[in-house]
Amino acid sequence: MVKWTLISITLAFLGVFLLVPLAAVMTEALRKGLGAYFNGLQDPAAVSAIKLTLLTSLIAVPANLVFGLAASWAIAKFEFLGKSLLITLIDLPFAVSPVISGLIFVELFGLQGLFGHWLSDHNIRIIFAVPGIVLATIFVTFPFVAREMIPLMQEQGSEEEQAALSLGANGFQMFRRVTLPNVKWALLYGVILCNARAMGEFGAVSVVSGHVRGQTNTMPLHIEILYNEYNFVAAFAVASLLAVLALVTLVLKSIVEWRIHREIEASKA
Amino acid sequence: MRLKQHSVLPGFGITLGYTFVYLSLIVLVPLSSLFLKTATLTWSQFWGTISDPRVVASYKLTIGASFIGACINAVFGLIVAWTLVRYEFPGKKIVDALVDLPFALPTAVSGIALTAVYAKNGWIGRYLEPLGIHAAFSPLGVTIALTFIGLPFVVRTLQPALEDLDPQIEEAAASLGARHIQTFIRVILPALLPALLTGFALSFARALGEYGSVVFISGNMPMKTEISALLIIMKLEEFNYAGATAIAVVMLVASFVILLAVNLLQWWVARRFGKGG
């Protein structure tokens, strides 16, 4: 009795609360048929927004991946003073509102910002241009890879690496042959989450972008503009691409979680 | 204690150095610019901005809607987590994966989707309208959006805690004559309370800073449905950097206080319950 009541509540709540909005995106996008749907996606402004989103993610994800590897190596394999403070600082961007994440870069590089005069004297544009969008995206996705890697590498310890070194491997060989295979699933997990956020970030990017159509609009910003122009079909068409990305992210995430779980079970046996 | 303990592994200097430089350039220096900017404001400028009635109205809405959303998530998140951990049913894995949808779905997409669903002619809004309930473009809409984005925090914090909870304790309580409700209040709830409070606080803190999923459904009417994050954007659009900074500092301090409270709570719980087993 209790069991089926609770299962029903769960399914009803998640269905109404999560599935209905997801279905609404697809329905609204196709409201005027496939022709209108593809028109919305083929519009030059939409194409340029898709390109900018891909470019941003292509810079932000590798940047945070390299950082995640470096940070987790230093934190997980060595003991040093101030380590827990460092871990707290790495998580800091998650505690900052997206809008504030954009604002801080405006205060640094905007016209009235700390470096504003110097930048405008040298004709360098960061705010209301692509570099600002990339920087804000790197900021909001900063902790993703590191926070997946640190606990796992801490748990694994460093015996295998020490064995590799004593068998004559150099540092690079040890990293490539021992460390990387051990952490590859956690690494992938972090990258998947990092990429989803990088492509979908709205608040932070909205503050630094300047919303120049065809130049500084990412997909989420393009959706906002279309929506505010009452061009709902095109807005939902672009949104449907991001919704598909979200679903792919969830599927990949589940597969990787299952692999990590299996490896933990295998290492116990 | 020495600054660093000896280790045979290579690469400590370069990886820690890189970590520190990258962290400083991307996070610490930009964040400190916010406080540098605040320091250039006079006290009356700062106070004038953050105590402006329109800004105060936005705090009330943001905090109130975030709080209600976190409460709704605590209740339904507990039911969802319980169902996912304790029961087997067809499609459970899909349901479990779906819980993370609000994380994975870009906030702008959530925003326009929720607006479409809860608007007057929307799939759910059309049934609420005859009851006199205006979901979209009202404080209720803001609450719906903030509940949506906070749900995974509660479920994902509760799941590991529930897995650690031994069903035998409940069986023991039941065999001693406790009813479902009694077992729940006396046995289960106290054991889950730390995780539940942590999930609640994370959901609350996330909602305070949220922007994308709210701005579409809120309608952004001054004094009524403007959230604090939106006011920062509006000040920036007026090139009022000082005003934007002042509101941002208030919001940042609020979310830090909540996260600090979570850490203190976890520390307190670990000390009180941790050692006895």
Task: Read off the pLDDT of residues B13-30 as tens digits, 9 standing for 90 and up.
Answer: 999 999 999 999 999 999
- Residues 145 to 164 of B: which have CB under 8 A from any A CB? 147-148, 151
User: What's residue B275's pLDDT?
Assistant: 46
- Side-chain half-sphere CA neighbours of A127 within 13 A: 23
Q: Helix, strand or coil for residue A80?
A: strand
Interface test mutation site (partner A, options B66, B101, B247, max chain A beta carbons within 10 A): B101
Q: According to the model, what pLDDT value does residue B174 have? A: 80
pLDDT tier, B268 (very low <50, low <70, confident <90, very high otherwise):
confident
Buried b (16+ CB within 10 A) or exposed e, A91-110: ebbbbbbbbbbbbbbbbbbb
Kindly provide the b/e burial profile for residues B233-272, where b requires at least 16 CB atoms within 10 angstroms of the residue's own CB: bbbbeeeebbbbbbbbbbbbebbeebbeebeeebeeeeee
Output the pLDDT for position B277.
37
Lowest mean pLDDT among A108-122, B92-106, B116-130, B197-211: A108-122
| Kind plus residue range of the DSSP H or E element containing A130 | helix A130-140
Q: What is the pLDDT of residue A28?
A: 95
Counting one residue from chain A and one from chain B, the pairs whose CB atoms sit within 8 A come to 271
Give the residue among A21, A13, A239 at the shortest CA–CA distance from B115: A21
Q: Please give the Cα distance from B14 to B9 (Å, whole number).
A: 12
First to last CA, chain A: 38
Q: Give residue for tokens 């949808």.
A: B101
CB A33 within 8 A of CB A174: no
pLDDT of residue B179: 80
**Cα distance between residue A142 and residue A149, in whole Å:** 13
Measured in angstroms, the CA of A59 and the nearest CA of chain B are apart by 14
- The residue with greater pLDDT, A210 or B55, is B55
Q: What is the pLDDT of residues B189-220, one digit of tens each?
A: 888 988 999 999 999 999 999 999 999 999 99
A191/A193 Cα distance (integer angstroms): 6
Report whether pLDDT(B166) > 90: no
Rounded CA separation A260/B11 (Å): 26
Residue A13 DSSP SS3? helix
Among A162-171, A189-198, B3-12, B42-51, the minimum mean pLDDT is found in B3-12
The pLDDT of residue B274: 56
Contact partners, residue B169, CB within 8 Å, separation at least 6: B187, B191
Q: What is the pLDDT of residue B276?
A: 41
pLDDT band for position A211 (50/70/90)?
Answer: confident
The alpha carbon of B68 is separated from its chain's Cα centroid by a whole number of angstroms, namely 11
The CA distance from A186 to A148, in Å, is 6
pLDDT for the residue numbered B107: 97
Per the CB < 8 A criterion, the answer to whether B189 and B121 are in contact is no
Residue whose C-alpha is closest to residue A102's, from A141, A132, A60? A132
Residues of A in contact with B210 (CB under 8 A): 97-98, 203
ipTM above 0.85, yes or no: yes
Q: Is B256 on the interface with A (CB under 8 A)?
A: yes
- Asked if B260 reaches chain A (Cβ–Cβ under 8 Å), the answer is no
Would you state the pLDDT for residue A236? 97
- Write down the number of H helices and E strands in chain B: 15, 0
Give the contacts of B218 (CB within 8 A, at least 6 positions apart): B137, B141, B142, B145, B225, B226, B227, B230
- Give residue-wise pLDDT tens across range B214-238: 999 999 999 999 999 999 999 999 9
Does A112 contact chain B (CB < 8 Å)?
yes
pLDDT, residue A5, reads 94
Q: What is the CA radius of gyration of chain A?
A: 22
Contact between residue A15 and residue B95 where contact means Cβ atoms under 8 Å apart: no
Q: How far is CA A203 from the centre of its chain?
A: 13
Question: For A45-54, A132-141, B234-243, which range has the lowest pLDDT when averaged over its residues?
Answer: B234-243
Interface of A with B in 129-168 (CB under 8 A): 135, 138-139, 142, 158, 161-162, 165
Q: What is the mean pLDDT of the segment spanning A187-193?
A: 96
Whether B138 contacts B225, CB under 8 Å: yes
Instruction: Confirm if B196 and B154 have CB atoms less than 8 A apart.
Output: yes
Q: Which pLDDT score, from 0 to 100, does residue B2 have?
A: 65
B227 phi and psi, to 5 degrees?
A: -90, 165
Q: How far is A54 from chain B (nearest CA, A)?
A: 14
Model confidence band, residue B262 (pLDDT cutoffs 50, 70, 90) = confident
Tell me the per-residue pLDDT of A33-47, one tens digit each, with 9 for 90 and over. Answer: 999 999 999 999 999
Cβ-defined contact of A98 to B151 (cutoff 8 Å): no
Report the pLDDT averaged over residues A93-107.
95
More reliable by pLDDT, A186 or B185: A186
Only one residue has tokens 């590191």, namely: A146
pLDDT digits (tens, 9 = 90+) for B136-152: 999 999 999 999 999 99
CA dist B139 and B59 (Å) reads: 12
Contact between chains at B255 and A171 (C-beta distance less than 8 A): no
Phi–psi pair at A31, nearest 5 degrees: -55, -40
Q: Which residues contact B265 (CB under 8 A, 6 or more apart)?
A: B194, B197, B198, B201
Contact B34, A107 (CB under 8 A): yes
Which of B183 and B54 is assigned the larger pLDDT?
B54
Are A67 and B37 within 8 A, CB to CB?
Answer: no
